[in-house]
Amino acid sequence: MQSKRILGLCLGAFATFWSGGASALPVLSELYYDAVGSDDGESFVEIYGLPGTSLEGFAIDGINGTNGAVGPTILLSGSIGASGLYVVADRRTDGTSSVLGADLLANFDFQNGPDSVVLRQGATTLDGLGYGVFGAGEINAGEGAPAVAVNAGSSLARRFANVDTNDNAADFEVLATPTPGSAPISVVPEPGSALLLGLGLSGLAGAARPRSAERRAR
């Protein structure tokens, strides 16, 4: 099942590239900020983007919903792998993490909200995820309406890795089981991307029935 997800992510990146971009990549794709019990060595942030994209000069910031204070800040390094996913995991004091296969280990602890997590390149904000209920005067550094705050042990994950509508409430859903480096939903290209892919494939192999945009039954 994970191999199907990775294939879908790669196809999603391909479709996004040829359609001019359903969103500006990379984007935040999953956030796990509240583990059951201690968060130490459990939390992670996942990024989705085109394979091979260098993340030198990129950073992830936590933004306090009460006063807009910035922190923690995670400086990224390396590049996005063939799966299109890059995982940053919290590191314990002994250098370990419960998040296996993470691309980067760092010491961070995002608050339970209302707060935000922002992905930036230098001083340019590329994506933001606000979560929780923001009161009057509080700072939502995410996009559009905030996503819901999750219960301990659950994560927030983007519904479709290559689609960013600039509205966190619409783009993210709650996963009861966090999935760093994978996800239980399929990437579905937007209609324009699907049309381009269909035309290209039909030129090679003849007419074919278009794939359904519905999620696969789990």
Q: What is the pLDDT of residues 84-125, one digit of tens each?
A: 999 999 999 999 999 999 999 999 999 998 999 999 999 999
Q: Cα–Cα distance between 81 and 2 in angstroms, integer? A: 15
Supply angle C-alpha 164, 167, 168, rounded to 5.
90
Split at pLDDT 50, 70, 90, the class of 20 is very low
Contact between residue 28 and residue 45 where contact means Cβ atoms under 8 Å apart: yes
Q: Cα–Cα distance between 15 and 201 in angstroms, integer? A: 12
Q: Cα–Cα distance between 70 and 84 in angstroms, integer? A: 27
Split at pLDDT 50, 70, 90, the class of 188 is low
What pLDDT digit, counting tens, does each position of 35-66 carry?
998 999 899 999 999 999 999 999 999 999 99
Contact between residue 104 and residue 60 where contact means Cβ atoms under 8 Å apart: no
Q: Cα–Cα distance between 170 and 115 in angstroms, integer? A: 17
List the 115-121 sheet strands across, edge first.
70-75, 58-64, 115-121, 124-131
Domain ranges in the chain are 2-205
